[in-house]
Amino acid sequence: MTTLYPVQDVFTRGEISPRLHARASLDFYRAALARCENFVTLPHGGIRKRGGTYFAGEVKISAKKTRLIPFIFSADQAYALEFGDQYIRVYAYGARVGTVEVASPYLEADLFELAYVQSADQMWISHRDYPLQVLTRTAHTAWSLDDYVIDDGPYDDINDTSTTLTPASYGSFVPKMTSLTAPSGTVSSQNGTSDVWQLFDKNSRTISFPSGGTAAWVQYQLPGGAQKVCNAYWIQASGAPVGAEDMPTQWVVQGSNNGTDWTTIDSQVAQAGWGAAERRYYEFFNKTPFNYLRLDFEGGGGPDASNSQLAEWSPNEDGDLMTPFNFTASSVIGINGDTGFQATDVGRAIRLLGSDGRWRWARIAARASATVVTIRMYGHVLPDLSPITRWRLGTLVPGKYVESGSLYEERLAFSRKFSVYASATGDFDNFALGEKDDDALEFIQAGGGQANDIVWIADSDGALLIGTLGGVRALSGSGIDEALTPSSFKNRRSRTFGCARIRPVDAGQSFLYVTRSRRSIAELTQTAQSRFTSDDVGQISEHIPKQGVVELAFQTDPDPLLWFPLDNGELGGYTHQPSQEVRGMHRHRLGGTFSGAGWAIVESAAVTPGQDGNDDLWLVVKRTIGGVTRRYIEIKTAPFEYGAITDAFEVDCGLTYIGAAVATVGGAVHLAGLSVDVLADGKVYRGLTVSGGGTVTLPGGSTAAKWQLGLPYAAGADTLELDVGGRDGSVIGRRKKVAKAILSLLETDTTGLEVQSLMRGRWEPVRMPSIVAPDGKATLFTGNVEVPIDDSWEGQGRVRIRHVNPTPCTIRAFTPVFDAEP
């Protein structure tokens, strides 16, 4: 029989499915493992024991599920948000931020269906059963959650019934005047023109000559010192062609509260070329209330410069400060499924087409009955009080709230059911549709023979990706590098998998998303402009995501790793570097136990930039401690690389002590009654018990100045049956006997490393006494070691490897030395 030395120096395909354990002819077979638990496959080819988890705190309500969501303002200002049952808490860089806690409406059952999109210090949070919310950070310890009130839109379809809506007021700074002082307030002009009140009589057929020349002012004063805010107005010329020539060509609008000191709030120049009865609309920013409002003009009087004339000046009143007025429907038909106005309509927007052909909008302030509500008007004054036939109700009401969001090309976009709503460019509060390139737009998912719900949207290079239950589509401008606008768009279907309602992640060169069943993970790659394709990245490791993926979190540094909690409580990992053909899955079982499981349950994961340049992986972990369910927030520590053994942190839910050399440390009350491992000044202590008060004492009076203590976990790897050396074909299935294993190690504490034949139960330790310091402290070894193995001919040439100490272990290559039947 021939002794074989088949080296395996690549583990980049990670743990593969049991269905593939006999497929030795596949290219990836020799880069795979049968089991990869608590080891991470490295882009360089080896496997490294994962870092431990650091205890950051207990969630507010340990008896209920909790979710983590990242809030990243910048690389050096990043937070992890603890979303629990009707509350939000804030963590940053390993600890809770003060006592910050924000009340929220979200119930425990809905936490994992929340969608979010962030821009700078604001995060919009959406869920189909809740009004859109915005979380705002104004300082490190100042956070607030509020309803996100969209100024205008989005809207349902335009009314196509006979129902009309009649307003009781114009929404004007000035009432409908019948004289200089009636019905209220005072109209005056520079020249004391007696009919100047006709500029405010809401009748475009009447005119006034406020100036006998080219310049003058006209003003209105509110009664009793009242004040209003104006931020828009319109001006109308006379219906006579000659009168239009007498229109002023430049002016300022000013406000005052004493009639002496004036503040300019708008100015216009070069306003020539008026047509008969032409109206021009002007909008500006102003939040200051005034008692007086003045139009000070010049350039009027026409060619002879004799008389300036205007038909109407209609300044509005800012809707936010307006006293609501009645809005009456002629019937309930077309309103809320023919049921009329409901109490839930309060706060809902209405879009109205005035008799001047201009769309305006209002917000419902209160409901009086099924046909009567009170509203506040926004935008320009209504030209008259006639019934409005063309109107649209806001679409965001109970049962129709938005479900997911994204930012795309300076637009804030949300989806609901089959629709995507995108704001005006650079104006996240404005969802009113228009025809200009920077106006808001609405896209309705249709075609393709299926009507699949949209479950997420995401920004990608050159396209807004739309994930639906049936697959992924790409929404973009109609041409190459052309912006998405109301008049220029295309919607392309890609050959992809249906999507789950789980937020996808940007993995650099591609997107990773969960398929509809939640039992596989797909990679979305761009093949051409706005064209994408998908592959199941976990197909060769299908048994891992088949446990049910809960959510995704992608870590860029120090290695590109996708993390995904599973329904069985394991933490799935996927090393993703496709440019180097590195695609390997691995499983992680955290220290501790919960109920019937032999490991702690990972329920949520989120990634934020860390302070040391590495990304922080935040976890919510559930354990049974002292007979009680505890949920802790923990941070996976950075992997051990090129450091001192005392710096290694290879325990879970752990703590670090640095200070004077002591025999006892405290602060571990969260692990009271449990058995922990300790690395104290580089010396390993296993199986120490945490007292009820949270203290741990080293045995034999030993002391240490640096402690790493926490729950133990073992890292394990099982090799596959290698197919090498057969003189007459494959040796798969033939009897083999392993005599020893040769391991190539990097910075490994060999005292915790053990090897075992797959068929025999005895673990063989790596015996290298020369690398253990005289004081019993562990040291790190780099190089090759040989371990004899007790095996039998019934084996398959397969070996198990495990590392049990709270110390580092990296395996660069593995060589089983075995004899096989010829």
pLDDT at residue 794, as a whole number: 55
Whole-prediction pTM value?
0.89
Express each pLDDT in 43-60 by its tens digit. Answer: 989 999 999 999 999 999
Q: Give the CATH number of the domain where residue 781 resides.
A: 2.60.120
Least confident segment among 170-179, 565-574, 767-776 = 767-776
Structure tokens at 749: 């504490």
Tell me: do 312 and 332 sit in the same domain: no
SS3 annotation, 421-433: EECECCECCECCE
Q: Give yes or no for residue 515 having a pLDDT over 70.
A: yes
Contact present, 645 and 778 (Cβ < 8 Å): yes
pLDDT of residue 734: 66
Domain containing 336: what range?
322-384
pLDDT for 697 equals: 97
Residues 311 and 199 in one domain: yes
Q: Is the dihedral of CA 246, 247, 252, 255 positive or negative?
A: positive
pLDDT on residue 733: 61
Last residue of a domain, one of 333, 355, 384: 384
The pLDDT assigned to 343 comes to 94
Instruction: Specify the number of domains making up the chain.
Output: 4
Considering the domain boundaries, does residue 606 fall inside one?
Answer: no
Please indicate, yes or no, whether residues 690 and 722 belong to a single structural domain of this protein.
no
The pLDDT tens digits of the residues spanning 324-359 come to 999 999 999 999 999 999 999 999 999 999 999 999
Provide the 8-state DSSP code for 691.
Answer: P
Judge whether 639 lies within some domain.
no
Query: Which structure tokens are listed for 59?
Result: 């969630």
Is residue 250 included in any domain, yes or no? no
Asked if residues 681 and 705 have their Cβ atoms less than 8 Å apart, the reply is yes
Q: What is the pLDDT of residue 167?
A: 97
φ, ψ (nearest 5 deg) of residue 734:
-80, 155
% of the chain at pLDDT higher than 70: 94
CB atoms near residue 43 (< 10 Å): 17
Q: Decide which of 320, 345, 363 is a domain's last residue.
A: 320
* 720 in the same domain as 705: no
Compute the average pLDDT of residues 204-223. Answer: 94
For residue 321, which of 290, 348, 345 has the smallest C-alpha distance?
290
763: in domain? yes
CA 167/CA 27 separation, integer angstroms:
74
Residue 597 to residue 569: CA distance in whole angstroms: 8
Are 33 and 604 contacting, i.e. CB atoms less than 8 angstroms apart?
A: no
CA–CA separation, 237 and 148 (whole Å): 39
Residue 560 lies in a domain: no
Q: Is 51 exposed, middle or buried (0-12, 13-18, 19+ CB in 10 A)?
A: buried
Instruction: Indicate whether 129 belongs to any domain.
Output: no
Burial 745-778 (b: 16+ CB within 10 A, else e): bbbbbbbbbbbbbbebeebbebebeebeeeeebb
407 assigned to some structural domain? no
Span 69-88, pLDDT tens digits: 999 999 999 999 999 999 99
Residue 433: predicted pLDDT: 87
- Tell me the three-class secondary structure of 406-465, residue by residue: EEECCEEEEEECCEEEECECCECCECCECCCCCCEEEEECCCCCCCCCEEEEEEECCEEE
Average confidence (pLDDT) over 102-128 = 97
For 370-403, the pLDDT digits (tens) are 999 999 999 899 999 999 999 999 998 888 899 9
